[in-house]
Structure 1
Amino acid sequence: MRFWWVNHNQTARQEIEGGYLWSPKREASGARSRFYDNMREAAPGDLVLSYSQQAVRFVGQVTDYAFTALKPPEFGSLGSYWEAEGWLLPVSWLAVERPVSPKSLISALGPLLPEKYSPIHRETGYGNQKAYLAEVPPTVFQIVAQAAEFPEVDFSRPGANTAQGDLIRELIEDEVEARLKSEPALSDTVRKSLIEARRGQGLFRANVMKVCPACPLTGVSNPALLIASHIKPWRVCTTAEERLDGLNGLMLTPDADLLFDRGFIGFGEAGEVMVSGRVDREDLRRLGLGHISLSPSGLQDAGALWREQNLQAAQAGYLKYHLENVFLGG
């Protein structure tokens, strides 16, 4: 279990009510941010202190891994300089009994805070500029939680509550679908195809079957056992062409589809299978995927199921997007 501190004065209300945290993937300048990268480091069971209006007012527990998502519409004009695509981290929030100002505890907290990437100033207790999600030592969490009279918490690490993550994904896709239904520039035929593509049906499925007639992970080719899965998620595609492009899809068995959609597996530029270090190898064996073994480099190879000659350049581009924005890595 790891412990985090989030400074979200601008968006605290929306994020607390929505059960999540959201950040851009990069700073407005295009530079990487350790605070934004931490969104992908947080894991189910981790605990988060919510700091806004100069006090810690909520404590949250991460319930699923962060996934790529557009800026929530409820943000409105907030963060107008942020890029549209970012990380959404599902979190279950609970209000503390007594909001706590870090300034009142800074003599105890200061020496414990990290020298680099601290969420608050180690001497004054004020929030640090540009800090968003920062990792803090367990002792920092415990001091603040005790002062806030936070109810007893089971600190054992639970599994992912995928129900919350799935609900958030569903709500996001509902909003995208509603926008498509009201888009006057789309013909009825295209609109219908785009909505069917959300669940891997219709024209999108037919297009994917032409490119990838069998599951690249298991070799299964019976269409009745395969799901047409988007490589770049449907919810973040920016054009009708992307949502219907057969090159932006793979035919996968249900288990492989779930692993791929959640970022637990990916495919390299040469078609090699890559498996996240966050997947239990025994679970893979139980799923019948024991032929995928961990190599010293962390890259996974399922054998000769899929190779570079089976990939087209445009599909390799989508797969690169998946590795950078969906795959969970180590």
Structure 2
Amino acid sequence: MRQYWWVNHKQTFNQEIEHQYLWSPKTSSNGARNRFYDNMRAANPGDLVLSYANQLIRYVGRVADFAFTAPKPSEFGATGAYWNNEGWLLPVFWTRLDPPIRPRDLLSLIGPLLPEKYSPLQSETGKGNQGVYLAAIARELYEVVRAHTRVDDVRLETGGANRLAFGTVRDELDDRVEDALRADLTLDDTIRNATIQARRGQGTFRSNVQKMENACRLTGITNPALLIASHIKPWRSCETPNERLDGANGLLLTPDADLLFDRGFISFEDSGEVRVSPRFDQGDLRRLGLGEHAWKQLGFSEAPMPWLAQGFSDSQRAYLSYHRAQVYIT
């Protein structure tokens, strides 16, 4: 079911609209959970977002993909200097409203529809609530705003599909990290080259993974030509060359399994049992031919191939804990 959201993003409005995303830290500056940041992970592809900044709603956006771990965008500059560098990036395709909407002018209509808790606006004054970022709103509130403006619905519903696909955005983020590594004069050339090769599961990193893993964790396939050396903690999120080259931070997976794992649609328990995201289309999982668990959930008595369950080493478990918390889509 489609959800509706409202984002207060005065500080980062220009950057987020231009580059077609939302970005937030994962926690408040004191490390506490933050409902508005948690909402980044709750948004689904197809959800609609109203953009509020400088007392105006000027854009509506369609969520293009699930949020995923990403460094703070470099285009933010000094904005949010106190935010942690790692946060959630939510791809959003923005479409301009014509004319823009001033919520204060519609307060008699909007006010009664604002949520009692976690509201983006003060219902009495129409001012934005400080500290609110991405807030859930009722469809009725969204419809009131849409009834007083115009938007290109075809563009809103279909635009940005390729530009905002996970693989495209991920590659752009990885490119930025790679550029920074190439410019880092403190790195030994051998380490730099090995670290860059590790981005694509090659070189030293693959050799290190193969010392710990010899088959795909889902399918049991052992043919090296059919296996990808995949990072557990994403390459872009690693803090040191050692993490990027650590064999314990990798699995050998077939291409389909690698895509599911990289995107967070599956993860692993320390015991080796597979977690399947409840937000991944189970029919698609069945069509991929992966997963005894998914087949049983769909009412089939047998799966085309069993998932293998084999425990992980202590060094691998630390990375898997990160994957379950920061990559896996709950």
**Smaller-chain TM-score bracket:** over 0.9
Match of 2:228 in 1: 227
2:6 alignment partner in structure 1? 5
Shift of 1:163: 4.7
Give the Å deviation of 1:95.
Answer: 1.1
Within 5 Å, which residues of 2 pair with 1:114-263? Answer: 114-152=115-153, 161=161, 163-164=163-164, 165-263=166-264
Structure 2 counterpart of 1:305: 308
State the shift of 1:303 in Å: 5.9
Alpha-carbon contact 1:197-1:244 (below 8 Å) kept: yes
| Aligned: 1:66 with 2:67 | yes
User: Could you tell me how far 1:150 is from its partner in structure 2?
Assistant: 2.5
Letter in structure 1 aligned against 2:308: L
Which residues of 2 match residues 258-269 of structure 1 at below 5 A?
258-269=259-270
Tell me, yes or no, if the aligned pair for 2:7 and 2:133 is still in contact at 8 Å: yes
The amino acid of 2:310's aligned partner reads R
Q: Which residue of 2 aligns with 1:46?
A: 47
* Cα separation, partners in 2 of 1:172 and 1:229, compared to 1, 3 Å: same
CA distance in 2, matches of 1:313, 1:237: 18
Per the alignment, residue 299 of structure 1 pairs with none
Query: What whole-Å deviation, never above 9, does each CA across 1:208-262 have from its counterpart, x for those lacking one?
Result: 1111111111111110000010000001111000000000010000000000011
RMSD over equivalenced CA pairs, Å? 2.0
Alignment partner of 1:292: what SS? helix
1:35 is matched with: 36
SS at match of 1:97: strand
* Structure 2 CA distance for aligned equivalents of residues 162 and 312 of structure 1: 38
Distance 1:42 1:88 in 2: 11
Q: What does residue range 69-84 of structure 1 map to in structure 2 within 5 Å?
A: 69-84=70-85
Deviation at 1:151, TM superposition (A): 3.2
Provide the rounded CA distance (Å) in 1 between the counterparts of 2:268 and 2:239: 22
Conserved 8 A contact 1:47-1:59: yes
Q: Please state whether the residue corresponding to 1:149 is helix, strand or coil.
A: coil
Equivalent AA in structure 2 for residue 141 of structure 1: Y
CA drift at 1:106:
1.0
How far is the alpha carbon of 1:166 from its aligned partner? 2.4
Letter in 2 for 1:131: V
C-alpha distance 160-154 of structure 1, shift in aligned 2 (>3 A)? closer
Q: Distance in 2 between matches of 1:45 and 1:279?
A: 14
SS at match of 2:251: strand
Secondary structure of the residue aligned to 2:196 is helix
Query: Match for residue 110 of structure 1?
Result: 111
5+ residue gaps, structure 2, are 298-304
For residues 154 and 69 of structure 1, the distance between their equivalents in structure 2, rounded to whole angstroms, comes to: 27
For structure 1, the residue ranges without an aligned partner over 5 or more in a row are: 297-301
**Is the contact made by 1:197 and 1:203 (CA closer than 8 Å) also made in structure 2?**
yes
Q: 1:153 deviation in Å?
A: 5.5
Q: In the aligned structure 1, how far is the partner of 2:156 from the partner of 2:95?
A: 15
Q: CA deviation at 1:294?
A: 7.5
Distance, in Å, in 1 between the alignment partners of 2:15 and 2:167 is: 18
Q: Distance between the aligned counterparts of 1:159 and 1:218, measured in 2?
A: 36
The answer (yes or no) to whether the contact 1:25–1:86 under 8 Å persists in 2 is: yes
1:306, distance to aligned residue in structure 2 (A):
2.7
Contact 1:44 1:159 in 2 (8 A): no
Which moves more between the two structures, 285-294 or 25-34? 285-294
1:313, distance to aligned residue in structure 2 (A): 0.9
Name the SS of the counterpart of 2:6 in structure 1: strand
Question: 2:93–2:159: 8 Å Cα contact kept in structure 1?
Answer: no
Alignment: residue pair count = 322
Identity of aligned residues (%): 55
Cα deviations across residues 66-104 of structure 1 (Å, max 9, x unaligned)?
A: 000010011011001111110000001111111111111
Partner SS for 2:292: coil
- Say if 1:160 and 1:101 are closer, same or farther in 2 by CA, change over 3 A: closer
CA distance in 1, matches of 2:248, 2:160: 31
Inter-partner Cα distance in structure 2 for 1:161 and 1:155? 11
